[in-house]
Structure 1
Amino acid sequence: MKKTIFLLISIVFFTSLLVGYYLIFTIPKHIEPRQTVTLWVPPGSSSSRIATQLGQSGILIHPIPLKALVKILKTEKQLKPGEYNFEVPSSTWEVYQKLLKGDVTVHRVTFPEGLTAKESLNMLSMALGVNTKILSSTLKDDALRQRLGVPSPRFEGFLFPDTYKFTKTQPPEKMIEIMVTRFFEHISQENLNKARNLKMNLLQWITLASIIEKESGVMKEHPIIASVFHNRLAKKMRLQSDPTVIYGIPNFNGNLTKKNLQKPTPYNTYTQNGLPPGPICNPGASAIKAAVNPAKTNYLYFVATGNGEHVFSEDYKTHLKYVAMYQLKR
């Protein structure tokens, strides 16, 4: 009798092990090939709620084994929230390991050169689904700005354009910190010394770089455009840069008028002397380098040719000739 009972217990035990192994580690073959499903696990979710989510979305065929596994291993508080990509269906063990490691979805976000801080935030919001109001409030965080060493009342100009990897659960402060840190990685001591020799501090340097960036998307022109602005500054001439005027116009409609050019604003370099009070965009490495490594020229003017490039001139008479040639004929 005892042998029979022992045999029955052994059968039940090993059967339970096999069933448990099947439920936790395997996926029925007839369900493959698998598709990928994105699931958002909110912060503060219990393992029971997560398992239910996984079951309802079809990621787990049986949600109960996950609940049991978490309870047995006592890892209730170790499951990480966030955005996950799961194959449908997945084994309980695959899902458990992913949640335990916090193997959340990583988004690659590329910021082109010349975006304003506001435009960068809009891109970030669209890519990650983050509320723009939260991001905007982060840009107004003076304590964060000071901690990161930004020498300006704003982050404009210091959010380096590059490709970044972000997750939806990253705090906005961390995203901004990553971008500013990347910016300072492109500020060499050699170029800082060159800026000082040109009688510019870091803010003035990046302000000029931002104007260069907005004036031309052609990198080979950046040192030449830099030389124009340095030459004008040396002669006490106003920079007369259209992008600075546009930056100072709230809700610019795309049509730059003579009235706009004549209206004084802190950013209107047709009416104000010297550099504007701060950057007008986030410049890339080429413009940043060019601002303190200008070409050696006597140019004081340039005109867009219509193909993305510019022609340069040393005197106003030649400049007017190019204006007639490339601008007035349109």
Structure 2
Amino acid sequence: MKRTRIIALYTFLELILIFFMALSYHLAQPMLSSNVIFLPKGGVNEIITHLSRNHFQVTRVDGWVIRAMGYPQSGWIDIHANLLSRGDFLYRLTKAKAAMKEATLIPGETLHFFILDLAQNFSLSPLKLKEAYHRYAPHPEGVILADTYKIPLGISEEHLMYYLVNHSLREHQKLSKKILGVYDEVQWFKYITIASIIQKEAANIEEMPLVSAVIRNRLKKRMRLQMDGTLNYGEFSRTKVTPEMIRQDSSPYNTYKIEGIPPYPVGSVGFDAIKAAIFPADVDYLYFVRNKKGTHTFTNNYETHLKNIK
């Protein structure tokens, strides 16, 4: 009986030894990985499922190892390696932190130049960034809110645009519900389009409700907006608007030729411009022109406006 127990004990110890040898072999196997990995919120099972769907060769055993090592943080993490052992990979999943770099979208700037800045600062392809943006964004411009974003180094074009667009869309919904009580995407982006014009035209925050009032009043009277800022769309964001440009531009952004507002925003917007678009000043202004102080002089009379121009 005692001998049987001893044999059983040795057998058990042998099984444990075999298990640890197999586990050691498993953890020593090489793994390919990108430097930056996205981990979803949730339990270890969700993480293993997500990695598996994204072509990482992980198993349930790896899930047990992760549980033993600790719990990974969600979001983008930088594991600082492309080729490493499975054990090192799993360890870094639980210990790695995200390597971040700031990217700022200035109010009034267009997607065209923001993409060029992103491509230069993060060593990415402008074409791939543009293609990724259009896969996720419901509008060709104005979806990404003007703000400073912390972005992990090594992120791909696809993941970067997915983050920027979806983060901004959630913020759009929050702002709409906070200000209006509801979120109607069509109506909201009409406000964003008006806000993008205000962002281009106003000299400062104080002027924004006044510019908004001019837009509202001209639309009510079925007057064309005739605002230079709408021609600073896309690649023309930093171009000086000239009489020749006004004559030659046949795009839906030329408010000297089209009635109403453009079909899409003409650039990025900040919160002040959005608020001004929704709550214009209670004034009857129809015209404004830049003065010697660098701000604008407003009036409701065309003859006075001509004098202001002179």
TM-score (norm 1): 0.62
Letter in 2 for 1:265: S
Corresponding position of 2:176: 188
- Counterpart check, 1:262 vs 2:247: yes
Deviation (angstroms), 1:307: 4.0
Q: Which moved more, 1:121-130 or 1:228-237?
A: 121-130
* Partner amino acid, structure 1, of 2:243: K
Distance in structure 2 (CA, Å) of the matches to 1:85 and 1:219: 43
Aligned 8 A contact 2:196 2:265 in 1 = yes
Equivalent in 122, 126, 132 of residue 128 of structure 1: 122
For 1:81, which of 11, 18, 35 is the aligned residue?
Answer: 35
Equivalent residues of 1:232, 1:238 under 8 A apart: yes
Counterpart of 1:287 in structure 2: which amino acid? Answer: A
Q: Equivalent residue for 1:163?
A: 148
Match of 1:274 among 260, 269, 274: 260
Q: Which runs of 5+ in 1 are unaligned?
A: 1-69, 87-93, 325-330
Q: Give me the identity figure in percent.
A: 31
Shift of 1:79: 7.0
Pick aligned residue for 2:289 from 296, 299, 303: 303
Structure label with greater radius of gyration = 1
Letter in 2 for 1:188: S
| Count of residue pairs the alignment pairs up | 235
Cα shift at 1:132: 1.3
Moved more, 202-211 or 226-235: 202-211
User: Would the aligned equivalents of 2:105 and 2:114 in 1 still touch at CA under 8 Å?
Assistant: yes
* Alpha-carbon separation, structure 2, partners of 1:175 and 1:281: 19
Deviations 1:124-144 (CA, angstroms, capped at 9, x unpaired): 112211121211211232xx2
Find the counterpart in structure 1 of residue 309 from structure 2.
323
Task: Return the alpha-carbon distance in structure 1 between the equivalents of residues 93 and 178 of structure 2.
Answer: 46
Unaligned runs of 5+ in 2: 1-23, 37-77, 82-87
Contact 2:199–2:269 (CA under 8 A) maintained in structure 1: yes
TM-score normalised by length of structure 2: 0.65
Relative to 1, partners in 2 of residues 1:110 and 1:252: Cα closer, same or farther, differing over 3 Å?
Answer: closer
Q: Does the 8 A contact of 2:31 with 2:89 survive in 1?
A: no
- CA deviation map 1:5-61 (0-9, x unaligned): xxxxxxxxxxxxxxxxxxxxxxxxxxxxxxxxxxxxxxxxxxxxxxxxxxxxxxxxx
User: What does 1:9-48 align with in structure 2 at a 5 Å threshold?
Assistant: none
Q: Is the 8 A contact 2:133 2:162 kept in 1?
A: no
Q: What residue number does 2:204 align with?
A: 218
Moved more, 314-323 or 256-265: 256-265
